[in-house]
């Protein structure tokens, strides 16, 4: 597998670990590696755990790419949005074990999963796009609208409010917060519990539940390709 995302498969569980520098920037190469890893997990019929490095899941899109030209930025966001859509429709459960900060695209990875576990500590989770001068893209708005609590949606998307881990549970970015040393064991326990699910029923129910969202995201991806960010 790629150096950017390691793949470990054991006992029906595939663990994908992002490793791209100190902030785990999401670049075109990371997205390509992520897709290859999901392809392999699908072939392995594995429950997926996505995690990062100690202290961080991801700080968001690679700013070098985002600032290298409007078309490069549009292409990267479209690829990232397509990955989010794929995660939301993945035929097997997707768990994110967030080891710390999850900012911008890092937070959208949380919003694209079936179960999200964070860790206690002075970590920031949320969508900081407006803080750094970026108008939120259509896919980001629709994904946040669907997955965040109504009370947190405007605060997050329009105000760029960041949340500590417990606040991120209240907002809808996380489902559970544990001590850092318990993160992967907790994710493994959730994965073991999810093995009891009938996977065909899981897939079909997921696609029914998210049908409107997936159709909305398909339209939003096309809108984001047409307009400057």
Q: What is the model's pLDDT at position 227?
A: 58
Residue 40 placed within a domain: yes
Q: What is the model's pLDDT at position 21?
A: 92
Residue 160 placed within a domain: yes
Q: What is the model's pLDDT at position 35?
A: 98
Q: Where residue 137 sits, what CATH number does that domain have?
A: 3.90.226.10
43: containing domain: 5-183+194-226
Residue 205 placed within a domain: yes
**How many structural domains are present in the chain?**
1
Cβ-proximal residues to 105 (8 Å cutoff; 6+ apart), any chain: 26, 58, 60, 61, 80
Cα(178)–Cα(211) distance, integer angstroms: 32
Q: What is the model's pLDDT at position 203?
A: 98
Residue 41 placed within a domain: yes
What angle, rounded to 10 degrees, do the helices at 28-43 and 70-88 form? Answer: 20
Q: Provide the pairing of β-strand 162-163 with 94-97.
A: unpaired
Sheet of 162-163, strands arranged across: 55-58, 100-103, 125-126, 162-163
Query: In tens digits, what is the pLDDT along the chain, a chain of 229 residues?
Result: 579 999 999 999 999 999 999 999 999 999 999 999 999 999 999 999 999 999 999 999 999 999 999 999 999 999 999 999 999 999 999 999 999 999 999 999 999 999 999 999 999 999 999 999 999 999 999 999 999 999 999 999 999 999 999 999 999 999 999 999 999 999 999 999 999 999 999 999 999 999 999 999 999 999 999 856 5
**157 torsion bin: left (phi>0), alpha (psi -120 to 50), beta (else):** alpha
Residue 119 placed within a domain: yes
Q: What is the model's pLDDT at position 226?
A: 84
What angle, rounded to 10 degrees, do the helices at 70-88 and 211-226 form? Answer: 170
Residue 222 placed within a domain: yes
Q: What is the model's pLDDT at position 116?
A: 98
Residue 168 placed within a domain: yes
> What DSSP line would sit under the chain, residue for residue?
--SSEEEEEETTEEEEEE-STTTT-B-HHHHHHHHHHHHHHHHTT-EEEEE-BTEEEE--B-HHHHTS-HHHHHHHHHHHHHHHHHHHT-SS-EEEE--EEEETHHHHHHHTSSEEEEESSS--EE--GGGGT-PPPHHHHHHHHHHS-HHHHHHHHTT--EE-HHHHHHHTS-SEEE-GGGHHHHHHHHHHHHTTS-HHHHHHHHHHHTHHHHHHHHHHHHHHHHS--
Residue 189 placed within a domain: no
């Amino acid at each position: 597998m790629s150096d950017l995302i390691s793949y470990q498969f054991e006992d029906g569980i595939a663990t994908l670990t992002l490793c791209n520098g100190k902030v785990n920037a999401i670049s075109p190469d990371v997205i390509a590696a992520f897709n290859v890893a999901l392809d392999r997990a699908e072939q392995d019929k594995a429950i997926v755990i996505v995690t990062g490095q100690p202290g961080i899941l991801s700080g968001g899109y690679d700013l070098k790419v985002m600032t290298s030209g409007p078309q490069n930025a549009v292409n990267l966001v479209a690829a990232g949005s397509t990955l989010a859509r794929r995660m939301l429709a993945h035929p097997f459960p997707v768990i994110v074990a967030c080891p710390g900060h999850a900012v911008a695209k890092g937070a959208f990875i949380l919003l694209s999963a079936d179960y999200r576990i964070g860790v206690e500590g002075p970590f920031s989770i949320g969508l900081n796009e407006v803080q750094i001068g970026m108008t939120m893209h259509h896919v980001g708005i629709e994904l946040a609208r669907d997955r965040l609590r109504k009370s947190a949606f405007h605060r997050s998307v329009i105000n760029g409010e960041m949340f500590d881990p417990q606040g991120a549970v209240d907002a809808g970015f996380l489902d559970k917060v544990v001590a850092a040393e318990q993160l992967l064991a907790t994710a493994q326990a959730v994965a073991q519990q999810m093995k009891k699910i009938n996977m065909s029923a899981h897939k079909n129910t997921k696609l029914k539940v998210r049908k409107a969202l997936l159709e909305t995201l398909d339209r939003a991806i096309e809108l984001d390709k047409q307009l400057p960010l």
